[in-house]
Amino acid sequence: MSDDSVRTTHDGAVRTITLASPANRNALSRAMVTQLSEALRAADQDDAALVVVLRADGPVFCAGADLKEAATADADAQAAASRRMLALFRTIVSLSVPVIARVHAPVRAGGIGIVAACDIAVAATDATFALGEVRLGLAPAIISTVVVPRLPDRVASHLLLSGETFDGTRAAEIGLVTMAVDADEIDSEIAAIVEAVTASPAQGLRATKQLLNRPLVDRIDRDGNEMTALSARLFQSDIAQERFRRFLDR
């Protein structure tokens, strides 16, 4: 699969899916979310695939929501965008094979939701993270379904209410990512994990992922409608729209 937003390559049992819109900081535009979901579903239908590696081109892993789209979306379009995002997270956590995130660079908001939905995440120690929705008059509603279960309660309260920036080392300490390594070691660490994962038969991997992620799938299914409605409402608010314009005018 090759297009403007997502690129997929194959190497034996490994599918590598790349966020390939660096000019837009790999923001989660409608095209990005749609094409990423399609790429993941295609991997799920490939009997030869045992693992998916999710990576990104350019100096930003993912900037979160595409605020240019959000600033011009009407209520129906924003509601549809919220549903697409929730469906993307559910696709990742319910995919039959493990998904490994390679986080080499800054990741924000909805991009952190993608990282949290992955089964294993390796970050560069100097990659930066921020759950900054609150600063735009939003709540991390949809991403809470996958991010909050990864974090200790007090840590979640601090990071989601402050919107402060933290690095890959801190992300590993709090359990948001599996590990943090120096940037020049990230590919060798991913390769070692891929080798370990692909040494197991498919049926064991699939069954183990299913049992591990059942609570996440249940949470998405239980809270999804409420969270998408909350997200869409806040994105359409006057305060958020003004903050979007201010951000885009910088």
Residues 73-92: what's their mean pLDDT? 96
Domain with residue 119: its CATH number is: 3.90.226.10
The pLDDT tens digits of the residues spanning 234-245 come to 999 999 999 999
- 98 assigned to some structural domain: yes
For residue 239, tell me if it sits in a domain: no
Residue 218 lies inside a defined structural domain of this protein: no
Q: What is d(CA 15, CA 74) in angstroms, rounded to the nearest whole number?
A: 36
Would you say residue 214 lies in a domain? Answer: no
CB-based burial of residue 196 (10 Å sphere; 0-12 exposed, 13-18 middle, 19+ buried)? exposed
Reply yes or no on whether the pLDDT at 2 is more than 60.
Answer: no
Range of the domain at 125: 6-197
Residue 241 lies in a domain: no
99 pLDDT higher than 90: yes
Please tell me the total count of domains within the chain: 1
Residue 204 lies in a domain: no
pTM over 0.85? The answer is: yes
The pLDDT score that the predictor gives to residue 3 is 52
For the segment 45-82, what is each residue's pLDDT rounded down to a tens digit?
A: 999 999 999 999 999 999 999 999 999 999 999 999 99
In a domain, residue 247? The reply is no
pLDDT in tens, 144-177: 999 999 999 999 999 999 999 999 999 999 999 9
- In a domain, residue 135? The reply is yes
